[in-house]
Structure 1
């Protein structure tokens, strides 16, 4: 069995005067949310054999905060293809994961991550899928499992959706209606 965990970067600062979207940093709320999600990952004893991440500043900073809460080094492979990637590109990246990897973490951006979840999880009555369809908020974590030994077999409608964690589920002040 293969487990794919998808993490969207934390909330970034739109009012930060950067020249490129790629260079946009996290804001204070994003830093708090990422650290909280990292602590939650530690409490769940989540473990990853391989991490692939967008090299955008907001993803790098998200992972710094996740690691602070998680208490473990993640050592990502920085892959520029993840930056603002479509679900099809993200699926290509998943198909290319090393065969020996059982539990992978992919850290990136929307709408690609949300679209990937909706592509891989069967379109059926499922509270987790419905929540993602409504919104895949920043710093949210989605875990998908596949009954296969080959990442190349990961395909549309084949995932079992096992976990969806939003920062507001952990701390309501990190929800959309809070500062």
Structure 2
């Protein structure tokens, strides 16, 4: 509210400590009208999701995300249900350390 954002915000408590596979399943349920999603969660699930989307395997983390890191992943999909492992491209990775 303080930022003046008028879009849809949804809270899912199950994101907190879930694994990459469950996060992928959750993203596949995003309504197709949504062009962007900001997913805030915790490791190891978030690192696994970013790694899996960007061409690796969720269990073989190569996108390291220390606390407070933001990963921008571009997806070439027209429907969220079409989301799959390896379907994204890492465009930007910003860690708190890089902002100093």
Same fold (TM over 0.5): yes
What is the number of residues matched between the two proteins? 95
2:71 match: secondary structure: strand
Whole-Å separation in 2 of the counterparts to 1:86 and 1:133: 15
Whole-Å separation in 2 of the counterparts to 1:113 and 1:138: 11
Q: Note the aligned Cα RMSD (angstroms).
A: 2.1
User: What is the CA distance between 1:140 and its match in structure 2?
Assistant: 0.6
User: 1:101 and 2:30 equivalent?
Assistant: no
> Structure 1 or 2: larger strand share?
1
Structure-2 change in CA distance of 1:134 and 1:117 (3 Å): closer
User: 1:155 and 2:84 equivalent?
Assistant: yes
- Highest CA radius of gyration, 1 or 2? 1
**Alignment partner for residue 144 of structure 1, among 73, 87, 93?**
73
Per-residue Cα deviation, 1:51-85 (whole angstroms, up to 9, x for no partner): xxxxxxxxxxxxxxxx87xx443763111220201
> Structure 1 or 2: larger helix share?
1
User: What is the CA distance between 1:159 and its match in structure 2?
Assistant: 0.4
2:23 match: secondary structure: helix
User: 1:87 and 2:20 equivalent?
Assistant: yes
Q: Output the TM-score relative to the length of structure 1.
A: 0.49
List gaps (5 residues or longer) in structure 2. none
Q: Show the counterpart of 2:55.
A: 122
List gaps (5 residues or longer) in structure 1. 1-66, 124-131, 172-179
Whole-Å separation in 2 of the counterparts to 1:120 and 1:91: 9
4+ residue runs of structure 1 moved beyond 3 angstroms? 71-75
